[in-house]
Structure 1
Amino acid sequence: MTDWHAAGIGFLTIVVLSVFGVVAPGLGQLTAGLIGGFVAGYLAGGGLGSGFWHGLLAGSLGGIIAGVILGLFVAVAGVALGPAGAAISSVAGAGIFLAAVVLALVMALESAVAGALGAAINN
């Protein structure tokens, strides 16, 4: 059974550390994903499978939200540049979708592994 509280806390950890990762050298988004997945797995407990699942949820939520924010940023920039910008942003939309999918997969997989480790430590 999914412990949404654990996945949510892991996701919030990823968001907070990602914000600091932008301004603090050495602490990047991958570190944020690892720590957030670990937190989600640790809080959920229940063994490797449960930790993997909860870390995967926390990381994929982070990746999806990052992709949506990136897409909104490009859409606003396209509207601000007028008709030519709208055409450019619509073409860039396919690339942004692909980048968001890749980002979500990377964040989800690394968080899942860290979540399994967190759950193993909790037991």
Structure 2
Amino acid sequence: MVVTKWRAVAIGFAITAILSLVAGFVPQLAILGGGVAGIIGGWAAGYYANSGRVSGAWNGFLAGSIGALVAVTILVLAGLTISLVELSLGGVFATIGVAFAILLFVLIGAIPATIGGLIGGLSPRTESEDAERPTA
């Protein structure tokens, strides 16, 4: 059974979104940025989910796809704002290309995040026995 742990998804989402935005604004990192951000964010979500491979992959997928959607939205809004300030037709063409960009970035973010979540789910966290036992 797949278990969704929203705290793990939020951690993976934050990592994926931050690394994707950094990759979007730094041209040297743009080629590998989405994939690396997805793998690292997905791994973190799978690791913190601590529920096995399948749940780790599911939490990584959620973190990667939500993080990619937020990063794409921010980057598209930044591009539209710049084109509106400059009064160019780039904003019109950008809105047509938004659908393709969103699909591309979600795939770039979700597929590696699912793989990273699977890897993170393989390495469950070990907690000390004192934390599990209540004190008497």
TM class, shorter-length: 0.7 to 0.9
1:68-122 Cα offsets, whole Å, 9 max, x none, are: 012101221221122xx1x331122121221121111121110011101111111
| Cα distance change of structure 1 residues 111 and 96 upon mapping to structure 2, 3 Å threshold | same
What is the deviation of 1:28? 3.2
Report the Cα offset of residue 15 of structure 1.
Answer: 3.1
- Percent identity over the alignment is 34
Q: Distance in 1 between matches of 2:16 and 2:69?
A: 12
Q: Does 1:78 align with 2:80?
A: no
Give matches, 1:38-49, under 5 Å.
38-49=43-54
RMSD of aligned residue pairs (Cα, Å)? 2.4
Match of 2:34 in 1: 29
Aligned residues: 120
TM-score, with length taken from structure 2: 0.75
Q: 1:121 to 1:24 in 2, by over 3 A?
A: farther
TM-score between both structures, scaled by the size of structure 1: 0.83
User: Going by fraction, where is helix more abundant, 1 or 2?
Assistant: 1
The aligned counterpart of 1:14 is 16
Query: Is residue 50 of structure 1 aligned with residue 55 of structure 2?
Result: yes
Q: Aligned match of 1:100 in 99, 102, 110?
A: 102
The change in CA–CA distance for 1:24 and 1:111 in structure 2 (over 3 A counts) is same
Specify the structure having the higher radius of gyration (Cα): 2
User: Does 2:7 correspond to 1:5?
Assistant: yes
Match of 2:91 among 67, 89, 92: 89
Cα pair distance change 1:94/1:20, threshold 3 Å: closer
Q: What CA distance in whole angstroms lies between the structure 2 residues aligned with 1:15 and 1:67?
A: 9
- 1:110 is aligned to 2:112: yes
AA aligned opposite 1:107: G
